[in-house]
Chains A and B, each alone.
Chain A
Amino acid sequence: MMRRLIAIAALALLPAALPAQGTREPFPHARHAKLFPTCTGCHAGVPAGDASRTFPSAASCANCHDGMIQPPVTWQPPARRANGLLTYSHPVHVQKAKDVACTACHASASAAWMMVAKAAPDQCVACHTPKVSAHLADDNKCTTCHRSLTTATALSAERVAALPKPPSHGASGFASAHGAAAKASMATCATCHARESCARCHVDASRSPVIQTLGSDARVARAVAGKGPVYPAPADHKSAEFILQHGATARFVSANCATCHTRNSCETCHVGDGAKDVLKAMPAGRDASAPGVQLRRAPRADPVNPASPAVGIVNAAWVPQPHQVKDSTRLVRVHGAGYAKAHGRAAASGEMQCAGCHAQKFCADCHGAEKATRRYHPGNFVATHAPQAYGRETNCSGCHNAQAFCRDCHAQAGLAVKNNSQRSATYHNARPQWLLQHGRAARQDLATCATCHQQTYCMQCHSQLGSRINPHGPGFDAARMSAKNSQTCLVCHFKNPLAK
């Protein structure tokens, strides 16, 4: 075991000790296999951590490469490089694993002498975290061997950009689920990431205490520049219930929302009177390079005509180039088709907090009796409204004043009674026996009678002024009505019939 550790140590040290790869030719160990029987012959300082003797001097090459025995060479020992990404210490490993040979880490088991190479990270893992499946596995602990990227100042921007990506980071769902792991161990993230990594997507990067534990790094900023943000919809956002439930989530953990959304997102819909306290907790604007999830209202369409899309919100695809938001333009239906006709129950009970998204004027656009911005009834409703009015499928008086709206139109169309003496053959099926039927019709559909007839029309018979025919039904509670408004009685009665 200790041999392996030492071998790992030796191999690990090599890349750390070398300057950037490709700028100098590495020492050809294999060609010197017959010359050097030990590693410490040249790397005498490694076990003790003596940097001055970690590599042989160039002059020692000239012992052979003097131009006579061997041609001269220009090899130079690599410059000592501190602050790499590794926190590895050869002396510690040598002390703790005295019987582990250098080749345990720097050569494969079947390699010939001096066929050495850099220590592979998996060999570190094999000893330090043997239960971990791989070097870049999620359950590995990066800080065992690595320092944070921002302190690894020796790494070039190119090497930072080329740092390997753990397989888990490419898995679906990682982007929306990585927050919990980050909170649990931000030091792990800090091995490869800086604030700029997070600010690529997180609109609240400068306010997030978790992200602020990371340092800032220009190399990372350069590496992420030009990369578009990723805003996959979290699993709960895809639920049909989300529209109903997101308010509670936003109220209690608005910081979660602020990861991708600014207050602007909320105000896309929440232009009404509600949810103001929740909106206050959201960041007013983005303060990072991230564009954030941008929402916009879907084109407003006819809510009655089911052939049109419901009012909804979509992720906007307009984010300026070069950013391209992924997983965008998804239509979210806040209200389903036909909701305009069924909204009453949800509005009355508070199931939907209408005021969160709508100003009162929105209600008044329809309930104010006049169509201003939206179409509630189909185009030829004037020709089809009678059955709905009789069956009270829709409560006409919820929006219209029966006298001012219905009767006014009926009168002008020639449908309403113009004066109390008017009789017509066209109405009530031209039946002479209508007089005997009308009582039943009136009690069943009195509201529709009132759209053509004034009260005085009925009072011709049903009042003390007229024929004194009693219009009250068997269950009529005269005392109750009189107690509420005795003046109503006096419209038909000369004096209050209940007065003693």
Chain B
Amino acid sequence: MTIHRVAALTWRAACVVAAIAGAAGAQGVRISGTTSMQFVELRTLVRDSIKSSALPGTGDWRTTTSGVPALCATDAIWCTFERSGPTVSAAPLLQDLSVSGWGWMEGLSFRADVRGRTQFGSDGFTYPRANDHFNVLDAYAELERGAWRGRLGRQWATGGLGVYNYDGANAVYRYEGLTVEGWAGRALLAGLNEPYTTSLLNAIETITPQQDGYIAGGRARYRPDPLTSASLLYQRVFLADHSGLYSERASLDGSMRRYGAQWDMGLVYDFATDDWNEARFRVGTAGLGPVAGSIEYRRSRPFFELWTIWGAFSPVGFDEGRATVDWRPKGSPLGVSLRGAYRRHDDPQAGFELRTNGWRAGGDVMWTPSDEFAATGSYDVDIGSGASSEDVRIGARWTRPSGLSLGGELSATQNIYEFRIGTGRIFGALASASIPVNADLRVSADAGIYQHALTNGAAGPDWTQKRASLRLEWTLGRDPGAGRAP
């Protein structure tokens, strides 16, 4: 499918929606869009072979003369190893269109967000989902009547469990500080916006859901005053034939500002495994003087829907303690933030000789002498099971009141992978700019280059690559919230 085809599809969809709105006598229709294009380079890792006689040593696990690990099957003539392959690139293009219409009758409005995708170039790398050319992200009619609000169509359920997309109905009732909400409909896969039986999964996973999923959920949110709020959410996704569930979870989140502090808690419970996916308790100072800080306890255990077998593998969680300290005197252009965390996994009761803890530390320095200019520096180190890294960045941004913005960033990163060979440093430079052409058109662009250098004699793939993106944000029609001159 060509770019012309994608553009035609998305434009046609927008026109249909706008025409419906117009024919229905909408008093206002607004169409906005974002055209986003990236250039992504990727250095692939390819498998190569070498004669076993050319490798020193014996046994299955050997090393090439250049230090690259190789696997030699017993009595085989050839050994295999991985090396950097050609650099492949893709230039994915996203075209988002948002259409909203209102004015048919009091409280009635319509909204649709559609997305078209394609990519330029085809040297072997297809950007994720670039071949999924058209998506309706949401499209719903909304009726707002006093304390009630109803929606019908494709929409999102957002809350402590994350963001779920579904085709169905949603109703909200508000009474003073209490909001009660319920939703139901055909569930879409989180992060994919496609039905559970989508063919997109078949391409990359052998075991896929065999039935559509249906979602039903509800939430009660209480906000007795502007500084206190709590939300309880329950949601299940069940199979079309009601024979079982894909997921059943609940979340409880609370937030409060009292006694000069900000208190937060968040709990996510998985009924299928009888485990807490997330538990967070955080307390932080709420703007007392130039020094602010927070401490947090977090428990995290991964969540898997029941169409996968991963939940039956008894994944374990970890307990983590976090702390932050921020220093920024009032009126001072200088601000400093420090952060740190330490985590320890539960005993997996399987295998041996593996790191079971991790820690991270970091800090930011920000200098903002005016609203127009800001410079930052940051350092982060993350040591843990699976992978570790060290990252340094410095950046600056200059933003004119007109909206013109120019920025730049230099970075240096060191990665250490526990499960993959490839220790090295990556030095990067990124430049970005954003220009508001007029009130209805804005152009943003950035480009960067990242140079990979292997260190400590490590062997591995070369990740040197270039990145660039270009975004065009535009609006047509009356904007009910543009804040223009009366």
| A contacts, CB < 8 Å to B | 240-241, 244-245, 247-248, 262, 264-265, 267-271, 273, 276-277, 285-286, 291-292, 294-297, 299-302, 305-309, 316-318, 320, 329, 331, 337, 344-351, 353-354, 359-361, 363-364, 367-373, 375, 378-380, 382-384, 386-393, 395, 397-405, 407-409, 411-415, 423-433, 436-448, 450, 454-456, 458-459, 462, 471-477, 480-481, 484-489, 491-492
Interface secondary structure of B, over-half rule: strand
Q: How far is the CB of A318 from chain B (nearest CB, A)?
A: 7
* Beta-carbon nearest neighbor of A481 in chain B: B272
Query: Quick check: B126 and A412 within 8 Å, CB to CB?
Result: yes
**A-B pairs with the 6 shortest C-beta distances?**
A473-B314, A439-B350, A440-B351, A485-B244, A414-B45, A390-B386
* Beta-carbon nearest neighbor of B230 in chain A: A349
Query: Quick check: A414 and B85 within 8 Å, CB to CB?
Result: yes
Q: Is B75 an interface residue (CB 8 A)?
A: no
Q: Within the complex, which residue of A349, A350, A391, A404 is in contact with B382, where a contact is CB–CB below 8 Å? A: A391
Q: Within the complex, which residue of B386, B428, B481 is in contact with A380, where a contact is CB–CB below 8 Å? A: B428
Q: Is B413 an interface residue (CB 8 A)?
A: yes
Q: A455-B310, A472-B313, A477-B273 are in contact. Are A405 and B45 (CB under 8 A)?
A: no
Which stretch of B3-11, B14-22, B352-360 is in the interface? B352-360
Please report the C-alpha to C-alpha distance between residue A309 and residue B484 in the assembled complex, in whole angstroms: 22
Query: Quick check: A392 and B45 within 8 Å, CB to CB?
Result: no
Within 8 A of A (CB), among B385-410: 385-389, 391, 393, 395-397, 399-401, 403-405, 407, 409
Q: A299-B405, A349-B253 are in contact. Are A307 and B375 (CB under 8 A)?
A: yes
Query: Quick check: B192 and A401 within 8 Å, CB to CB?
Result: yes
Give every chain A residue within 8 A of B314 (Cβ-Cβ).
443, 471-476
Q: How far is the CB of A141 from chain B (nearest CB, A)?
A: 38
Q: A270-B481, A471-B313 are in contact. Are A392 and B36 (CB under 8 A)?
A: no
Query: Quick check: B312 and A379 within 8 Å, CB to CB?
Result: no
Give every chain B residue within 8 A of A399 (Cβ-Cβ).
163, 191
Q: How far is the CB of A484 from chain B (nearest CB, A)?
A: 4
Task: Mark B365-382 against chain A: 1 for CB-CB distance below 8 A, else 0.
Answer: 010100100111010001
Q: A363-B163, A426-B420, A481-B311 are in contact. Are A384 and B137 (CB under 8 A)?
A: no
Give every chain A residue within 8 A of B480 (Cβ-Cβ).
267, 271
* Beta-carbon nearest neighbor of A306 in chain B: B376
Beyond A247-B226, A307-B374, A432-B61, 11 extra complex contacts between A and B, CB < 8 Å: A285-B486, A359-B98, A361-B138, A364-B165, A367-B191, A372-B96, A397-B303, A404-B191, A442-B348, A462-B313, A472-B313
Q: How far is the CB of A120 from chain B (nearest CB, A)?
A: 46
Q: Is B340 an interface residue (CB 8 A)?
A: no
* Beta-carbon nearest neighbor of B372 in chain A: A309
Within 8 A of A (CB), among B79-117: 80-82, 85, 88, 94, 96, 98, 100, 111, 113, 115, 117
Task: Mark B216-238 against chain A: 1 for CB-CB distance below 8 A, else 0.
Answer: 00000101011101110100000
Query: Quick check: A412 and B42 within 8 Å, CB to CB?
Result: yes
Q: How far is the CB of B303 from chain A (nearest CB, A)?
A: 8
Give every chain B residue within 8 A of A383 (Cβ-Cβ).
413, 415, 426, 450, 452, 463
Q: How many residues of B contact A (CB 8 A)?
A: 180
Q: Is B1 an interface residue (CB 8 A)?
A: no
Give every chain B residue within 8 A of A429 (Cβ-Cβ).
418-421
Query: Quick check: B354 and A390 within 8 Å, CB to CB?
Result: no
Q: Which of A268, A361, A486 has the most CB of B within 10 A?
A: A361
Please report the C-alpha to C-alpha distance between residue A431 and residue B404 in the assembled complex, in whole angstroms: 53
* Beta-carbon nearest neighbor of B383 in chain A: A387
Q: How far is the CB of A97 from chain B (nearest CB, A)?
A: 56
* Beta-carbon nearest neighbor of B330 in chain A: A240
* Beta-carbon nearest neighbor of B132 in chain A: A404
Please report the C-alpha to C-alpha distance between residue A399 and residue B189 in the assembled complex, in whole angstroms: 11
Query: Quick check: B306 and A481 within 8 Å, CB to CB?
Result: yes
Q: Is B158 an interface residue (CB 8 A)?
A: yes
Give every chain B residue within 8 A of A286 (Cβ-Cβ).
486
Q: Within the complex, which residue of B42, B46, B349, B387 is in contact with A387, where a contact is CB–CB below 8 Å? A: B387
Q: How far is the CB of A227 from chain B (nearest CB, A)?
A: 19
Q: Which of A305, A411, A429 has the most CB of B within 10 A?
A: A305
Query: Quick check: A351 and B138 within 8 Å, CB to CB?
Result: no
Give every chain A residue within 8 A of B364 (Cβ-Cβ).
306
Give every chain B residue within 8 A of A402 (Cβ-Cβ).
191
8 contacts between A and B (CB under 8 A): A270-B481, A404-B129, A404-B189, A413-B44, A436-B351, A439-B348, A444-B315, A473-B316
* Beta-carbon nearest neighbor of B159 in chain A: A348
Query: Quick check: B207 and A455 within 8 Å, CB to CB?
Result: yes
Query: Quick check: B481 and A441 within 8 Å, CB to CB?
Result: no
Q: Is B118 an interface residue (CB 8 A)?
A: no
Give every chain B residue within 8 A of A387 (Cβ-Cβ).
382, 384, 386-389, 415
Please report the C-alpha to C-alpha distance between residue A371 and residue B446 in the assembled complex, in whole angstroms: 14
Q: Within the complex, which residue of A428, A455, A462, A477 is in contact with B274, where a contact is CB–CB below 8 Å? A: A477
Q: How far is the CB of B183 from chain A (nearest CB, A)?
A: 12
* Beta-carbon nearest neighbor of A442 in chain B: B313
Query: Quick check: A404 and B371 within 8 Å, CB to CB?
Result: no
